[in-house]
Protein backbone atom coordinates (compact mmCIF):
# COMPACT_ATOMS: atom_id res chain seq x y z
CA UNK A 1 0.00 0.00 0.00
CA UNK A 2 1.34 3.44 -0.89
CA UNK A 3 0.65 4.88 2.58
CA UNK A 4 1.75 1.87 4.63
CA UNK A 5 3.34 2.87 7.95
CA UNK A 6 5.25 -0.42 7.76
CA UNK A 7 7.16 0.97 4.80
CA UNK A 8 7.60 4.54 6.02
CA UNK A 9 11.10 5.01 7.50
CA UNK A 10 10.03 7.87 9.79
CA UNK A 11 7.81 5.38 11.61
CA UNK A 12 10.97 3.56 12.70
CA UNK A 13 12.25 6.77 14.28
CA UNK A 14 8.93 7.35 16.05
CA UNK A 15 9.01 3.78 17.34
CA UNK A 16 12.43 4.34 18.91
CA UNK A 17 11.15 7.51 20.57
CA UNK A 18 7.94 5.87 21.81
CA UNK A 19 9.82 2.90 23.25
CA UNK A 20 12.13 5.18 25.21
CA UNK A 21 9.28 7.38 26.46
CA UNK A 22 7.12 4.46 27.61
CA UNK A 23 6.40 4.42 31.31
CA UNK A 24 7.84 7.85 32.04
CA UNK A 25 5.96 10.89 33.33
CA UNK A 26 6.57 14.62 32.99
CA UNK A 27 5.30 17.55 34.96
CA UNK A 28 5.11 19.95 32.03
CA UNK A 29 4.73 19.91 28.28
CA UNK A 30 8.14 21.58 28.07
CA UNK A 31 9.74 18.65 29.94
CA UNK A 32 8.00 16.22 27.61
CA UNK A 33 9.21 18.07 24.51
CA UNK A 34 12.74 18.21 25.92
CA UNK A 35 12.67 14.45 26.53
CA UNK A 36 11.59 13.82 22.94
CA UNK A 37 14.37 16.07 21.65
CA UNK A 38 17.01 14.33 23.80
CA UNK A 39 15.88 10.92 22.60
CA UNK A 40 15.81 12.05 18.98
CA UNK A 41 19.30 13.53 19.29
CA UNK A 42 20.51 10.26 20.80
CA UNK A 43 19.36 8.03 17.94
CA UNK A 44 22.51 6.65 16.38
CA UNK A 45 23.40 6.14 12.77
CA UNK A 46 23.74 2.42 13.53
CA UNK A 47 20.13 2.29 14.72
CA UNK A 48 18.95 3.97 11.53
CA UNK A 49 21.07 1.68 9.37
CA UNK A 50 19.59 -1.42 11.04
CA UNK A 51 16.12 -0.22 10.16
CA UNK A 52 17.13 0.61 6.60
CA UNK A 53 18.68 -2.85 6.23
CA UNK A 54 15.33 -4.36 7.24
CA UNK A 55 13.39 -2.56 4.49
CA UNK A 56 13.72 -5.28 1.79
CA UNK A 57 12.29 -7.83 4.25
CA UNK A 58 9.52 -5.40 5.21
CA UNK A 59 8.57 -4.80 1.56
CA UNK A 60 8.44 -8.53 0.88
CA UNK A 61 6.42 -9.24 4.02
CA UNK A 62 3.84 -6.51 3.34
CA UNK A 63 3.44 -7.91 -0.15
CA UNK A 64 3.00 -11.46 1.19
CA UNK A 65 0.33 -10.19 3.58
CA UNK A 66 -1.38 -8.29 0.76
CA UNK A 67 -0.93 -5.01 2.57
CA UNK A 68 -1.48 -6.34 6.08
CA UNK A 69 0.42 -4.93 9.05
CA UNK A 70 3.69 -6.51 10.07
CA UNK A 71 5.82 -6.47 13.18
CA UNK A 72 9.52 -6.91 13.65
CA UNK A 73 11.93 -6.72 16.54
CA UNK A 74 13.06 -3.29 15.38
CA UNK A 75 9.74 -1.53 14.69
How long is the chain? 75
Cβ atoms within 10 A of the Cβ of 66, count?
7
pLDDT, tens digit, for every residue of 11-69? 889 989 999 999 999 999 999 999 999 999 999 999 999 988 988 998 999 889 888 88
- Rounded to two decimals, the pTM is 0.74
- In angstroms, the CA 64 to CA 10 distance is 22
DSSP-derived secondary structure letter, 27: S
Cβ contacts of residue 54 below 8 Å, gap of 6+?
72, 74, 75
Is pLDDT at 74 greater than 70 in this prediction?
no
pLDDT interval class at 73 (50, 70, 90): low
- In angstroms, the CA 6 to CA 72 distance is 10
Amino acid sequence: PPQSPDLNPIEAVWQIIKQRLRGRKWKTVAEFKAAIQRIYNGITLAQIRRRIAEMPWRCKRVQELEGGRIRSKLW
